[in-house]
Amino acid sequence: MRIAIMGQAAFGAKVLDTLADRGEQVIAAWLPQGKAGGKPDQLQIASEQRGIPVYRPESYKSPETLGAFRGLNADLLIMAFVTDIIPQTLIETPLRGAICYHPSLLPRHRGGSAINWAVIMGDKETGLSIFWADAGIDTGPILLQKRVAIGAEDTTGSLYFNHLFPLGVEAIAESVDLIKAGRAPRLVQDEALATYEPLCNDKVAGIDWMRPAEDLHNLIRGCDPQPGAYSFYKGEKVRLFDARRIDAAPAARPGEITATDAKGFTVAAGKGAIRIGRTRTEAGRQDAAAFAATKGLKPGDRFTAD
């Protein structure tokens, strides 16, 4: 079966290497659209090391791109970490269709920040879906899913790198086996259960200290490593990480520092408090204790919304 891989970064590279090592016929790698040049993508490097042709179209919507893709005579397109909107005419080109990896239990958490929102919303479980791509955004029939528990201290980063990345590669390989055997399901998603959230960026990453500690703990973990949930200290934007929830209500105003120690500093919330272990500012990353020492942070000082 002639397989084209579309994707990027370490995940795309690992999918390509895994399938090639299993003896699958990977005929091409397609990178995110844009101008050629710049730092080589990891999928590009992995492909070139194996002598597999690499394509980076300026636009996936152009007739030239569709013609080049059709010329490959691919049996299957695997979309491994794809952020571009791919036209349906291209998706329908391979004889056996196109499958796509998505890091959530679809139809919950459609969109480009699925892992972030599972943590931010306090989900106890997430997972990944391999689905048949169609004209919608994460709407196609499900081929298979894998479930992952979300631990109390998990972050977006830990879920992805420790679980959803390796499981995703395995799931794609399993999907290829099912397709080759003619046993790949096409389970229609239940639209009544569908959710779609926006990208997790600074529009949603600001901390409102009036909210309960549980909500802020989820927000900080969900924004770790990117974009980093943030608050302001004396006008400086400070991104906060390595949060630990404290349910006991402190005798302090929301946003007020209640303690500093060798492990970091603690900030009062609307209900409970949050201990912070790491920070990031324009000057770089610091342990929270070092940040507190540098800034002279002390009980009674306060983080604000701006």
Tens of pLDDT along 92-122? 999 999 999 999 999 999 999 999 999 999 9
**CB neighbour burial string for 200-231, b if at least 16 within 10 angstroms, e if fewer:** beeebbebebebebebbbbbbbbbbeebbbbb
* Rounded to 5°, angle at Cα 111 from 274 and 151: 35
At 38, the pLDDT band (50, 70, 90 cuts) reads: confident
Q: What is the pLDDT of residue 16?
A: 98
Collapsing DSSP states into helix, strand and coil, what is residue 88?
Answer: helix
Tell me what the pLDDT averaged over the chain comes to: 97
Q: What is the pLDDT of residue 134?
A: 96
Q: What is the pLDDT of residue 36?
A: 74
- The proportion of the chain whose per-residue pLDDT surpasses 90, expressed as a percent, equals 96
Averaged pLDDT for residues 279-290: 97
Q: In this predicted model, what pLDDT tens digit does every residue of 178-231 receive, in sequence order?
A: 999 999 999 999 999 999 999 999 999 999 999 999 999 999 999 999 999 999
Q: What is the pLDDT of residue 285?
A: 97
Element holding 273 (H helix, E strand): strand 273-281
Which of 166, 162, 159, 167 lies closest to 116 in space, CA to CA?
Answer: 159
Q: What is the pLDDT of residue 249?
A: 80
Q: What is the pLDDT of residue 7?
A: 98
Is residue 37's pLDDT more than 80? no
Is residue 159's pLDDT more than 80? yes
Q: What is the pLDDT of residue 250?
A: 86
Calculate the CA 289 to chain-centre distance: 29
Q: What is the pLDDT of residue 251?
A: 87
Domains in the chain with CATH codes: 2-193 (3.40.50.170), 213-295 (3.10.25.10)
Averaged pLDDT for residues 300-306: 95
Q: How far is CA 133 from CA 90, 102, 146, 269, 277, in A?
A: 11, 11, 18, 43, 41
